[in-house]
Amino acid sequence: MKIKKAVIPAAGFGTRFLPASKAQPKEMLPIVDTPTIQYVIEEVEKAGIDNILMVIGKGKRAIEEHFDRNFELEEELKEKNRLDELRLIQKISAMADIFFVYQKELNGLGDAVHYARGHINNEPFVVLLGDTIIDTNDGTSITSEMIRVYEQFQAPVILLEEVDPQKVSRYGIVGGHTLDENIFEIDSLIEKPSVQDAPSNLAVAGRYILTPDIFECLEQTPRGKNDEIQLTDAMQILLKRRRFYGLKLKGIRHDIGNKLDFIKTNILYAMKREDMGKEVRNFIRKIASKLPPE
């Protein structure tokens, strides 16, 4: 079956980014001038998917408004002949068909994904964390690559990132074996293992292609870490019934919900921009030369 729908959980509290995330969604934090969630939507669109369900919650209306039309602003820009800006905002509201569902209580990522059940019906679908940008280095969409792997194996696919072996205890880690340079067959999944228990240093990286039987697994999943319904726990149940594959990421994952990652991503993206890259690079050279030794 073809992948036609995407689910973007974006309801979380974002406690790692307080106070900025108190009254505004962390998914709206800009990387240079574009909200994080817009990069995520662009990745989905590049993969040819135009049906997107966003899971949002209290305090997340700015996300809905961002993807809605703003006629007053459009008129204002037209009157002032600011056509570049007009095109920019019209492009946003013309993006894929975006649907919204409210996660009433924030019971974790697994619970957020379960809210998609009615919308997804009986189809495979992709899940993209709304606070995570995947940069493939060459502008391609990692979701497209994952769909190719799905089409080859007709089985769930998880994006995997190699992490420092000393830091495995911060991530969901997979075990299994390499099939080729990029593809990994997964036979176990462990949430935040100790360095000794980790079966590899390949971490789950914020993108998943799942089959609809994940919903049944989510219903059987008891509350786990932080007293939340964890998607990793539900995938562990599914792993007993299905083969699972991993695609190893060649680019960089940016977790914008993490302050340090947010700053680094802004610097990297600003350096690459045509309109400001040169000035930003010069500025960094200038301040770097004045830095005291560590």
**Local structure of 155: helix, strand or coil:** coil
The whole-angstrom separation of Cα 90 and Cα 147 is 28
Identity of the residue, 259 or 273, whose beta carbon is nearer to ligand UTP in the bound complex: 259
Contact 108, 228 (CB under 8 A): yes
H or E segment and range at residue 74: helix 71-79
- Shortest distance in whole angstroms from residue 55 CB to ligand UTP: 5
Identity of the residue, 96 or 106, whose beta carbon is nearer to ligand UTP in the bound complex: 106
- Shortest distance in whole angstroms from residue 165 CB to ligand UTP: 22
Question: Is residue 160 a contact point for ligand UTP (CB under 6 A)?
Answer: no
Identity of the residue, 26 or 270, whose beta carbon is nearer to ligand UTP in the bound complex: 26
Q: Which two tokens stand for residue 201?
A: 């240093």
- Shortest distance in whole angstroms from residue 66 CB to ligand UTP: 15
Contact positions with ligand UTP (CB under 6 A) in 18-37: 27
**Local structure of 133: helix, strand or coil:** strand
Judged by CB under 6 A, which of 6, 7, 12, 126 binds ligand UTP? 12
The alpha-carbon radius of gyration of the chain (Å, integer) is 20
Q: Which two tokens stand for residue 7?
A: 């689910």
Contact 60, 10 (CB under 8 A): yes
- Shortest distance in whole angstroms from residue 253 CB to ligand UTP: 12
Judged by CB under 6 A, which of 1, 15, 65, 263 binds ligand UTP? 15
Contact positions with ligand UTP (CB under 6 A) in 82-141: 103, 106-109, 111-112, 129-131
The owner of tokens 């379960």 is 114
Evaluate the CA torsion angle 85, 90, 96, 97 in order and state its sign: positive
Stretch of residues binding ligand UTP (CB under 6 A), selected from 3-11, 171-179, 213-221, 276-284: 3-11
Residue nearest to ligand UTP according to CB distances in the complex: 12
Q: Which two tokens stand for residue 75?
A: 């008129």
- Shortest distance in whole angstroms from residue 185 CB to ligand UTP: 26
Judged by CB under 6 A, which of 257, 262, 269, 280 binds ligand UTP? 257
Contact 111, 228 (CB under 8 A): yes
The whole-angstrom separation of Cα 190 and Cα 187 is 10
Side-chain half-sphere exposure of 256, counting CA atoms within 13 A: 31
- Shortest distance in whole angstroms from residue 100 CB to ligand UTP: 12
**Interface with ligand UTP (CB under 6 A):** 9-16, 27, 55, 103, 106-109, 111-112, 129-131, 257
